């Protein structure tokens, strides 16, 4: 089958996949310019990425598989695209991106799936940006140490400048994990096999970097060699894990597509975002362990790593259901995962994404109601609405920020009222307002400061207030005595005498009320109510 036939089949798959996408697209997107997308492979990983770019970006896209075109056809295509003046280009993979960099100097280029080592130097076009999909080698070193803490030496093999560049990272990262890292440069897989046959052990792991030296024969030899010699084989190449490797650390490819789509949205709004090789990293990685291979290698995998690997398989199933449009099933899968692993960033991301798609309209309506209530200064009612949003979408940043803002706004309204009361010499009403402000929003430092200042100012008046309270008490005006002792406590909450006689005044007030009621009923036992009365 020719490359053109392969690409034709690839396009059919893409078209079929995109049939589900109008469910999420908004009206009016057709008025925007079509985005050219250049791809270097027709693998399933590219399909996943392109599918999610299309969903998030919500723009018409023209796919171009440059490997299926000869030089003349490629130049003609580039010329046509230049005449169309697209807002920006998207390029995935090394071969396509290299050609795109060489031929487009005046249009923003958003690229991904390109190793940092493959990025050309001295580019004429400074309007480039990308999504970095390199997985840091430290992730492999950290997992290796978790898997086998006594590991000491790691080997890698490189056959070109790109893999040598990637391997160079290991030279300075290895010491952080108490590891020795050696990269051996070879010209072919045959040379690699020869070197391994000559080696007599002395190392604990091999790190496979993507490189043409690893054809089927070479990989099969390395896989068997590691299994028989109890050596850990680790890689970032996703399909190798099932062919015979101990573990792989790869990306969630749908997540790459989403990040590319999000960056594309930013470029649509502001083309200046895409310049000077601005790079967004992908922080979520998937650990996959081949337990059968590890067991045959004589390696006992720690339970927590097995669990992490199983969790990633659950996430992948959830993503698979999401891509099929089975949002409810995907949501249930992600929720079930988060019950076991509540801090799983990828699980949280997809749960929230699906939740937004399932409940977006309802959440939007609730936000509108909350906004109106906030404008009307009905803060408590606003928070009741926000609680409903958070019950649906617990990790909503917008709802949590709105909740915080609502508390602060109500607190500030109490503080401002306190200022007004203070200016009118209503000291105790001012203190109550400041206390209310702090109770509602404990981080209101201004309310704390103003409360402290007012209390300090009024402290000298406590003897006068106490004298008044005692006079009320001794004349059996217990209601006013209680009120005045309470006011003293507003100034100095630690005044024990005021606290004691506030309580006594309260009890006397209640006793007086009972006594009056008793007299009204002509009860002969009324005098017993005052027996044991404590005077000042």
Mean pLDDT, range 17-25, rounded to an integer: 38
**Tens digit of pLDDT for each residue in 482-525?**
899 999 999 999 999 999 988 988 888 887 777 677 767 666 66
pLDDT value for 505: 85
Q: How far, in Å, CA of 506 to CA of 470, rounded? A: 14
Residue 44 sits at the vertex; the CA angle it makes with 59 and 239, to the nearest 5 degrees, is 145
- pLDDT higher than threshold 70 for residue 30: no
- 466 pLDDT band, cuts 50/70/90, is very high
On average, the pLDDT of the chain sits at: 87
Radius of gyration of the chain (CA): 36
Highest mean pLDDT among 30-39, 121-130, 334-343: 334-343
Out of 73-77, 406-410, 458-462, 530-534, least confident range: 530-534
Q: Six-digit token pair at 533?
A: 């009365």
> Which has more confidence, 357 or 296?
296
**Tens digit of pLDDT for each residue in 270-311?**
989 888 888 888 888 899 999 999 999 999 999 999 999 999
- pLDDT higher than threshold 80 for residue 105: yes
Residue 490 sits at the vertex; the CA angle it makes with 487 and 491, to the nearest 5 degrees, is 100
pLDDT value for 525: 64
**Tens digit of pLDDT for each residue in 256-271?**
999 999 999 999 999 8
pLDDT value for 76: 93
Mean pLDDT, range 222-246, rounded to an integer: 95
- 88 pLDDT band, cuts 50/70/90, is very high
Contact by Cβ (8 Å): 39, 46: yes
Whether the pTM exceeds 0.75: the reply is: no
Q: Six-digit token pair at 102?
A: 């060489």
End-to-end CA distance of the chain: 107
Compute how many other C-beta atoms are within 10 angstroms of the C-beta atom of residue 434.
Answer: 30
- pLDDT higher than threshold 50 for residue 534: no
Listed in sequence order, the DSSP H helices in 58-148 are 71-84, 94-103, 137-147
> Which has more confidence, 434 or 536?
434
Among residues 242, 238, 210, which one has the least CA distance to residue 223? 242
Q: Six-digit token pair at 340?
A: 């076991």
Residue 74 sits at the vertex; the CA angle it makes with 71 and 77, to the nearest 5 degrees, is 155
pLDDT value for 12: 44
In the three-class reduction of DSSP (H, G, I as helix; E, B as strand; rest coil), residue 278 is classed as strand
- pLDDT higher than threshold 50 for residue 13: no
Strand arrangement of the beta sheet that strand 247-251 belongs to? 180-185, 153-158, 205-208, 232-235, 247-251, 285-289
| Pairing status of strand 109-112 against strand 285-289 | unpaired
Q: How far, in Å, CA of 18 to CA of 26, rounded? A: 14
pLDDT value for 523: 62
Q: How far, in Å, CA of 208 to CA of 485, rounded? A: 79
**Tens digit of pLDDT for each residue in 41-86?**
877 888 889 888 988 888 889 989 888 888 899 999 999 999 999 9
Q: Six-digit token pair at 246?
A: 């101990």
pLDDT value for 526: 64
Burial class of 393 by CB neighbour count within 10 A (0 to 12, 13 to 18, 19+): buried
Compute how many other C-beta atoms are within 10 angstroms of the C-beta atom of residue 528.
Answer: 11
pLDDT value for 260: 94
User: Domains in the chain, please, with CATH?
Assistant: 3-133+255-281 (3.40.50.2300), 136-235 (3.40.50.2300), 302-395 (1.25.40)
Q: Six-digit token pair at 470?
A: 């005692």
**Tens digit of pLDDT for each residue in 369-402?**
999 999 999 999 999 999 999 998 888 889 999 9
Query: With the CA atoms of 133, 79, 14 and 57 taken in that order, what torsion angle do they form, in degrees rounded to the nearest 10?
Result: 60
pLDDT value for 33: 85
- 25 pLDDT band, cuts 50/70/90, is very low
- pLDDT higher than threshold 80 for residue 120: no
pLDDT value for 118: 67
Mean pLDDT, range 320-346, rounded to an integer: 90
Mean pLDDT, range 207-225, rounded to an integer: 95
Q: How far, in Å, CA of 198 to CA of 363, rounded? A: 65
- 3 pLDDT band, cuts 50/70/90, is very low
Helices (H) and strands (E) in the chain, counts: 21, 12
Q: Six-digit token pair at 414?
A: 């109490």
DSSP-assigned beta bridge partners for residue 278: 129
Q: How far, in Å, CA of 37 to CA of 110, rounded? A: 9
Contact by Cβ (8 Å): 259, 49: no
pLDDT value for 524: 62
pLDDT value for 153: 96
- pLDDT higher than threshold 50 for residue 20: no
> Which has more confidence, 172 or 511?
172
DSSP-assigned beta bridge partners for residue 251: 285
User: What is the residue-wise DSSP string for 409-433?
Assistant: HHHHHHHHHHHHHHHTT-HHHHHHH
Q: How far, in Å, CA of 52 to CA of 264, rounded? A: 12
């Amino acid at each position: 089958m020719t490359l053109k036939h392969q690409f034709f089949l690839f396009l059919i798959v893409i078209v079929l996949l995109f049939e589900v996408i109008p469910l999420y697209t908004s009206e009016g997107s057709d008025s925007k310019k079509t985005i050219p997308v250049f791809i270097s492979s027709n693998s399933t990983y590219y399909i996943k990425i392109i599918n999610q770019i299309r969903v998030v970006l919500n723009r018409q896209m023209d796919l171009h598989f440059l490997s299926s075109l000869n030089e003349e056809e490629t130049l003609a295509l580039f010329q046509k695209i230049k005449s169309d003046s697209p807002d920006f280009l998207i390029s995935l993979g090394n071969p396509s991106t290299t050609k795109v960099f060489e031929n487009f100097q005046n249009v923003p280029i958003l690229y991904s799936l390109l190793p940092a080592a493959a990025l050309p130097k001295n580019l004429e076009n400074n309007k480039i940006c990308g999504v970095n999909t390199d997985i840091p080698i430290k992730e492999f070193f950290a997992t290796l140490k978790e898997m086998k803490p006594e590991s000491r030496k790691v080997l890698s093999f490189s056959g070109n400048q790109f893999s040598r560049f990637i391997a160079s990272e290991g030279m300075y990262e290895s010491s952080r994990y108490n590891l020795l890292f050696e990269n051996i440069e070879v010209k072919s897989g045959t040379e690699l096999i020869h070197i391994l046959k000559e080696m007599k052990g002395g190392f604990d792991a091999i790190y496979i970097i993507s490189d043409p030296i690893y054809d089927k024969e070479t990989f099969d030899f390395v896989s068997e060699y590691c299994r028989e010699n109890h050596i850990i084989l680790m890689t970032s190449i996703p399909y190798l894990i099932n062919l015979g490797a101990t573990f792989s650390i790869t990306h969630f490819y749908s997540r790459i597509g989403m990040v590319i789509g999000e960056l594309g949205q930013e470029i649509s709004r502001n083309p200046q975002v895409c310049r000077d090789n601005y790079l967004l990293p992908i922080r979520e990685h998937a650990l996959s362990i081949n337990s059968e291979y590890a067991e045959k290698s004589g390696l006992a995998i720690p339970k927590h790593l097995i669990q992490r690997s199983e969790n990633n398989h659950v996430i992948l199933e959830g993503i698979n259901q999401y891509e099929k449009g089975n949002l409810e099933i995907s949501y249930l899968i992600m929720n079930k995962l988060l019950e076991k692993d509540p801090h799983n960033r990828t699980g949280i991301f997809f749960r929230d994404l699906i939740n937004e798609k399932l409940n977006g309209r309802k959440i939007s309506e609730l936000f509108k109601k909350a906004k109106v209530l906030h404008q009307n200064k009905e803060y408590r009612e606003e928070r009741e609405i926000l609680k409903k949003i958070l019950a649906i979408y617990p990790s909503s940043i917008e709802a949590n920020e709105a909740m915080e803002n609502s508390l602060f706004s109500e607190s500030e309204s109490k503080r401002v009222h306190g200022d007004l009361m203070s200016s009118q010499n209503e000291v105790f009403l001012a203190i109550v307002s400041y206390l209310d402000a702090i109770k509602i929003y404990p981080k209101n430092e201004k309310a704390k400061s103003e409360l402290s200042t007012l209390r300090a100012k009024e402290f000298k008046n406590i003897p006068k207030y106490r004298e008044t309270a005692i006079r009320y008490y001794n004349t059996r005006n217990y209601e006013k005595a209680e009120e005045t002792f309470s006011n003293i406590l507003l100034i100095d909450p630690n005044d024990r005498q005021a606290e004691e006689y506030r309580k006594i005044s309260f009890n006397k007030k209640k006793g007086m009320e009972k006594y009056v009621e008793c007299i009204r009923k002509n009860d002969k036992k009324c005098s017993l109510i005052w027996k044991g009365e404590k005077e000042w």
